[in-house]
C-alpha cells in the first residue's frame, strides 16, 4: 500500500497504441503529479523495463494491442513485478471482454471514453491497494 504522500512518486506505465489516447492519459496523470512512462507497443515496454530499468508501481494498458493482448502483457509484468497494480482500458465493454474470454470478471477496468476524474480516482484506489 502506498501512503498518500508517496502517491505522486508512483511510477505509472501507460501502454496504448492509439497516440491520442496515450498522450491524453499521460498528460492527465502528469498534471496530477505522477511520474508517467508511455509505450505504444510491447517492444517499447521491453525497452523501458530492460534498458531503462523501469520498475512500475502501476500499469495502465489497452486490452487490444498489436502482437499481444493487454491481459497477456499484464501477466508478464506481474510475473516480473508481483506488486504492480494493473488497470485495463478499452473501447469494448467489460462484459463483452469477459464473455469472449479476453479478461476476467473483477479486473480493474475503465471503459473508453473516460474522464480525467474517473481515471485519477481509479489510479488512486489501485495505488492505495498495492
Q: Domains of the chain, with CATH numbers?
A: 4-120 (3.40.50.2300)
CB neighbour class for 43 (10 Å; exposed up to 12, middle 13-18, buried from 19): exposed
**Mean pLDDT in residue range 70-97:** 97
| SS3 at position 70 | helix
Contact 75, 26 (CB under 8 A): no
Share of the chain above pLDDT 90, in %: 90
Residue 15, beta-bridge partner list? 39, 61
Q: What is the per-residue pLDDT for 9?
A: 83
- Look at the block and give the residue holding cell 473516460: 114
Question: Are 87 and 102 in contact, with CB atoms under 8 Å apart?
Answer: no
pLDDT mean across residues, the chain: 94
| 109-111 β-sheet, strand order | 35-39, 11-15, 58-62, 85-90, 109-111
The arithmetic mean of pLDDT across residues 9-35, rounded, is 97
Amino acid at each position: 500500500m502506498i501512503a498518500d504522500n508517496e502517491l505522486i512518486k508512483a511510477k505509472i506505465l501507460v501502454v496504448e497504441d492509439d497516440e491520442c489516447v496515450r498522450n491524453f492519459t499521460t498528460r492527465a496523470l502528469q498534471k496530477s503529479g505522477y511520474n508517467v512512462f508511455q509505450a505504444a507497443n510491447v517492444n517499447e515496454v521491453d525497452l523501458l523495463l530492460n534498458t531503462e530499468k523501469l520498475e512500475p508501481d502501476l500499469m495502465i494498458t489497452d486490452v487490444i494491442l498489436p502482437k499481444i493482448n493487454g491481459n497477456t502483457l499484464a501477466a508478464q509484468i506481474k510475473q516480473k513485478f508481483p506488486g504492480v497494480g494493473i488497470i485495463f482500458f478499452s473501447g469494448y465493454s467489460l462484459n463483452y471482454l469477459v464473455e469472449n474470454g479476453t479478461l476476467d470478471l473483477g479486473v480493474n477496468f475503465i471503459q473508453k471514453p473516460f474522464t480525467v476524474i474517473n481515471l485519477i480516482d481509479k489510479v488512486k484506489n489501485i495505488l492505495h491497494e498495492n
